Amino acid sequence: MSIPNEALQKVCLRLDKSLFLGRTLRADSQGKWCAKSIRSHSASCLSLLLQEIETRAVASQQQISITKAHMTAKQRDIRMLQLTSKELSELPSETRAYEGVGKMFVNVPVDTVNKRLTRESGEATAEIANLEKKLQYHEMTNQKSRENLEQILKSGGRA
């Protein structure tokens, strides 16, 4: 996880326009800040950099928790759909099934209900796959933020 150069430049320029003097900050291929770029900035700019990285790490940790909660809810929904489908399959074929429509109930063939349950289960499974990708992204963001923080703190701000 790296902070865009433009964002960091704006932060440093806001502090002291004479501090930057046309130099650019660069991250290496792994997203970690180069030693030369950290060394060339004042303590206040480094402090803002640490705050920005920490903010991103905290935000990604919150998103991880939210995404895990969404995944758990979707898994619970899938389980309920599967149980409902199982219960319907155990009923005789001539059994009447009703679905709620607003404040009333409509007679629906059991096959139609099973198709709807299967479709909803498939949609929920696809949503879980998307949530897993989102979770992986936020975990990577959190890990990179933590690595960047550790690198800056270990170097003592001097790199």
Which one has a higher pLDDT value, 143 or 22? Answer: 143
Q: Give the C-alpha distances (Å, rounded to integers) separating 42 from 3, 8, 121, 153.
A: 18, 13, 55, 15
Ordered structural domains, the chain, with CATH: 5-155 (1.10.287.370)
Residue type, 63: Q
Instruction: State the average pLDDT for the chain.
Output: 78
Q: What is the pLDDT of residue 22?
A: 35
Query: What's the average model confidence in pLDDT over 114-141?
Result: 95
Which one has a higher pLDDT value, 29 or 132? Answer: 132
C-alpha closest to that of 61 among 145, 148, 125: 145
pLDDT band at 84 (very low <50, low <70, confident <90, very high): very high
Q: What is the pLDDT of residue 157?
A: 57
pTM: 0.65
